[in-house]
Structure 1
Amino acid sequence: MDNLAFKVLCLSFEEATEQPHFEKTSFRVNKKIFATLNIKKNSATLKLSAINQSVFCAFDPGKIKPATGAWGKQGWTLFEISELKDEMIIDALSLSYCSVAPQKLSEKYSKD
């Protein structure tokens, strides 16, 4: 997935907005960040639960890994988006969005 496709996907979630976040672009719902995009590195950082983080990282540790330090321990996970299948990124992004979205919005995207 390229940067533009990732951006479009992030903004396809209901009430998602785009804002600058230091040297990255952040995607938010209800003023909470669910993803950031590093255009120069073609990578994204997504907010996941500890369990979901471990599942995704186990799938491909070279291309999916916890963020460094405390951020990684809080579930922030780095994805090399150009190196992964779109379906995997879509699944992870849906989980990330649902982790911060208000319940009325997350219920629309939850697979449970």
Structure 2
Amino acid sequence: MVSIETFRKIALSFPETTEEPHFEKTSFRVKKKIFATYDGLNKRACIKLSEIDQDVFASANRSTIYPVDNKWGKQGWTMIEMKKVNKDLFTDALTAAYCEVAPKKLVEQIRPNGSE
């Protein structure tokens, strides 16, 4: 299980990340682009992944990480059940989401030379 406090700590550790409201959710953004949201009522995160990353992370456990069930899911938006996910898997997925949205110069600060 990953708490909102842990989610926040990881997300805000990425360069130039801000936390802002997004409707009834909390969003985490880089350069005004959302890479993750948190739904406190349902204890779910929604992150933006590439199609390949979405498939890889969902293959770990489809009851924990799965595409949003509509056109947004086909664009990489992926749900994470916070009560079920372990911290390491969540950290890797959130890092991938940040890297999907952030400018290259910021990605290089956390993944030098494009390393995974």
Could you state the TM-score of these two structures normalised by the residue count of structure 2? 0.92
Q: Secondary structure at the match of 1:82?
A: coil
The equivalent of 1:35 in structure 2 is 36
Q: Secondary structure at the match of 1:68?
A: coil
Superposed structure 1 runs of 4+ greater than 6 Å apart: none
Q: Secondary structure at the match of 1:17?
A: strand
Q: Secondary structure at the match of 1:18?
A: strand
The equivalent of 2:86 in structure 1 is 85
Q: Secondary structure at the match of 1:92?
A: helix
The alignment status of 1:64 with 2:65, answered yes or no, reads yes
Residue identity over aligned pairs, in percent, reads 46
Q: Per-residue deviation at 1:23?
A: 1.0
What are the equivalent positions in structure 2 for 1:10-25 lying under 5 Å apart? Answer: 10-25=11-26
Residue by residue over 1:61-85, the C-alpha shift from the partner in whole angstroms, topping out at 9 and shown as x without a partner, is 1111101211100000000122111
Provide the C-alpha distance between the structure 2 equivalents of 1:103 and 1:97, rounded to a whole number of angstroms: 11
What are the equivalent positions in structure 2 for 1:43-58 lying under 5 Å apart? Answer: 43-58=44-59
The equivalent of 1:106 in structure 2 is 107
Give 5+ residue unaligned stretches, structure 1. none
Could you state the TM-score of these two structures normalised by the residue count of structure 1? 0.95
Taking only aligned residues, the RMSD between alpha carbons, in angstroms, comes to 1.0
Corresponding residue pairs, total? 112
